[in-house]
Structure 1
C-alpha cells in the first residue's frame, strides 16, 4: 500500500507522521521545502488545544511547552448594546492552548518527517499524475487548484458569502492584564475584537484581530493598505479599539505599538464551506479530501488546526486498518466516518457567526456569575463534540450548568468580574 499526501499543512503532515508510525508508506507532496515554509506573510494564527497537543506528543513533535507559547486564561467581554453595561468574566483554560506561528510549527513537523526517512517531493504537481503513483491520493491542500476537485456541498454549507472580514496582525506594544491570557470582545452587529499572546518568528508577541461583520463599523480597517500608510493604519486600529474595547486600548502603548515587521498582517474574507469529501479522477481512481481541501471554517471558534489534527489521526487509523481497495466505496465510507466528528465543529462554528441564541446568552450570564461555569465553558473548546452538545439546545445548556454546579462547591469570590 502507498499513500500520496498533497499538502504540508497540519493535516497533511500529521497524517504522514502518523502513517509512518503505523507502518503505512506515504509520500508528501509540498509546494514548499522546509525553508520555504518559514517565509512569507502569516496566513493564520492557530490555537492548538489540549487534545491536539496530546496527538503531537504521540508523534514526538511537541516542542513548545512553556508559558510564552500558551494561553492559560480567557477574558471574555460581551457587549449587549443598547447602553447596557458589558458582561465580563475571566476563565481558566485547562489545559492551556498552544499558540505557535505556523512558520515555526510546520517546518518543525516537515523536518521531523524528513529526518525519520519520509519521502518529500517539492514543487507543483498535477493530481492526475500523482494518483498513478499511489494506491490512494489524499489532498490536504486547500489551494484554488485543488478546490476545483471537490465542489461545495450545499447541504452542509449554509453560507455562500463571507460572514466576517478579517484583519489580524502580530504586534509589539500590548500589555496583558492577566499573564498568558486571551481577550475577546463580542460586539453585536460589529463582530469581534481579539487579542492573544503568540509565539511568533519575532519571539513572544501579540495578535490583535478584528473579525468584522460585513458592512459593520469594524470592516473598513480590513481593507486598508498597511504597507502604503503604516502610520494611518495604526491610527485607525487604535481608534477602533478605543471606541469598541476601551479597556484593551488602555493596554496599548502608543509609542511601542506596531506590527512586528513589514507584512506581518493577514487581511481578507473567508466563506465557511464544506466540500465534497472525495473525487473520482479521469483515470477512475479516487482522491480523498481532508484539511482545507475539505472544510473551511471561520476562525472565530479556533477549531481549524484542531479539526485538521483530529481528522489526520482518524484517517490514519482507517488507512492502517483497511483490507480492501482504496476505491470509491472506501472513500465514501471514510469521508462519512470523518464527518461524524467534523459536523460538530462545522455546526458550532457556523452558529457562532450569528447573534447568540437566548440559551447561549444565558450561559454567558451564568459564567459571569460563577467561575466554575466560566472555567468549564472555556475549557470545553478542547472538546468540540461536547461543546456543540452543550450549545445546540436549551436542554444542553441546562445539563451543562447543572453538571458544573454539582461538580464542586463554588469558590469564594466566584464572580468572574
Structure 2
C-alpha cells in the first residue's frame, strides 16, 4: 500500500490532490465522473470563492477567470422589516470569484492529470481504495460514503433542512451597479439572492430562493420548470415582486428566464457535521473532508471555502507527519481540522435563525456608516474572525470601534 487515495472530485478532493502532488506525495484521485461529465452535469451549487481560497488557487497555479465577468465587487443588503427596510451597499475586498463549478472542477481535474496525476474514474468503494493506499481521504458526500461517517449529534443541532432551495441561472435581469450581489433578508420567511455569475453558457445571474420550510418562498422548489417553463417563471416573478420589489423593477419580463432548460437546482440541505474518520479494510483509516464531513447551508457561502481551507490544512498535516497515517494520526488530524471548521459551522447555523439584538444593531450601524458596512461584508473572507464578532455583543462593539 502506497500513497494517499482521494475519493471525490469536488473542490476539496481536487485541491487536496493538487496540493499533495505539489508537495511530492504520491496520490491517486478516484472520481465517479470524468472531467467531461463534471462539465456536462446539471448545476448542484453556486459557490462564491473568497480571497483566501483564490490565494490557495494562485499557489497551485490554477486560478483562472480573473475578469470582472467572474467577480463580485459589492454586496447590496436589504433587511426587510414590518415598518421600514434597512438597506446598505458595501464593497467586498478583495472581490469574490463566482464561476460555475461545471467550468471550475474540470479545469482543476485536467490540471491534475496534465501534471502527471493519476486519476481513475468510475464507481469505487472505500474498502477497495483502502487496500491500495496508506490513507484514504473521502471528499465525496454521496449517501454511500456518508454511511461510513455517521452524523455527530453533539455538533449537529438540526435534523431537517432549515431552508428549501430553488436556485438557477437566469438572463433578463439588469444591474444598477455592475458586479454587485443583492441579498434580501426576510425574517421568518427566508432570503432572496441575485448574484452575477459566470456560467458555463456565459455571464448570467443566479436567482436563488432560500425558503423557511412551509413558508411562502417554498413553492418554486417543487415546480417542474422543464414541464411548464412559463408557469415556473410566472411564479418566480410573482414572489420577487411581492418580497423583493426593488429587484423586480430590474427584471425585463420579456427576456427573463432560465438561460437553458435544466439550469436549475432544487431541494433542501440539512446542516450536519459527521464523524471525521473511520477504520476500514485491513486496519487502514479513512478521513472525511468536504461534504463527506460537513454540510453547511449555503446562505453564508462558506462551503467551498471551508473545503479549500481543509484540503490545504490536511495536506500540510500529511506532509509533516512523523509517523504512520494510522488511527492516531486520523484522530489528531480530524481534531485539528475541527478547530477551524467549528467557527464556520457555528456561524452558518446562527445565520439561519432570526438575528439577535446585537447583530441587528451591527446591521443598523452598517446602514449608517459605510466603513462598518465595508468591513462587515469583507469579513466574510474570514469566518473565524466573523464568528468572534457576531457570537457576542462585546464582539460587535469591538468591531465597530475598530472600523470607526
Q: TM-score, normalised by structure 1?
A: 0.96
Once the two structures are superposed, the pairs formed by residues 338-357 of structure 1 within 5 Å of their partners are 338-357=337-356
Q: Which residue number in structure 2 is paired with residue 205 of structure 1?
A: 204
CA distance in 2, matches of 1:375, 1:363: 12
Q: Structure 1 CA distance, aligned partners of 2:340 and 2:8?
A: 22
- Matches for 1:47-126 after TM superposition, within 5 Å: 47-81=48-82, 84-126=83-125
Match of 2:195 in 1: 196
Q: Hey, what's the Cα distance between the residues in 2 that align with 1:154 and 1:282?
A: 26
Aligned pairs for 1:15-414 (under 5 A) are 15-81=16-82, 84-405=83-404
List per-residue Cα deviations over 1:319-370 (Å, max 9, x = no partner). Answer: 0001211111110000000000000100000000000010000000000000
C-alpha displacement at 1:282, in angstroms? Answer: 4.2
1:9 aligns with 2:4: no
Q: Alpha-carbon deviations, 1:281-310, whole Å to 9, x = none?
A: 143221000000000000000000000000
Q: List structure 1 runs of 4+ shifted beyond 2 angstroms.
A: none
Deviation larger for 237-246 or 219-228: 219-228
Structure 2 Cα separation of the partners of residues 122 and 250 of structure 1? 47
Match of residue 412 from structure 1: none
How far apart, CA to CA, are the structure 2 residues paired with 1:221 and 1:13? 33
Question: What stretches of structure 2 of length at least 5 have no aligned partner?
Answer: none
Native 8 Å contact 2:73 2:95 kept in 1: yes
CA distance in 1, matches of 2:93, 2:319: 32
Residue aligning to 1:409: none
Q: 1:397 deviation in Å?
A: 0.4
DSSP-derived class of the 1:192 partner: strand
Deviation at 1:64, TM superposition (A): 1.1
Which secondary structure state, in structure 2, belongs to the residue aligned with residue 283 of structure 1?
Answer: helix
Query: What is the alpha-carbon distance in structure 1 between the residues aligned to residue 125 and residue 156 of structure 2?
Result: 27
For residues 184-230 of structure 1, what are the alpha-carbon distances to aligned partners after superposition, in whole Å with 9 as ceiling and x for unaligned? 00001110000000000110000000000001110111111111110
How far apart, in 1, do the equivalents of 2:392 and 2:327 lie? 36
The CA deviation string for residues 76-119 of structure 1, in whole angstroms up to 9 with x for no partner, is 000122xx110000000000000000000000000100000000
Unaligned runs of 5+ in 1: 406-417
Whether the 8 Å CA contact 2:130–2:281 is kept in 1: the answer is no
Q: CA RMSD in A?
A: 0.6
Q: TM-score, normalised by structure 2?
A: 0.99
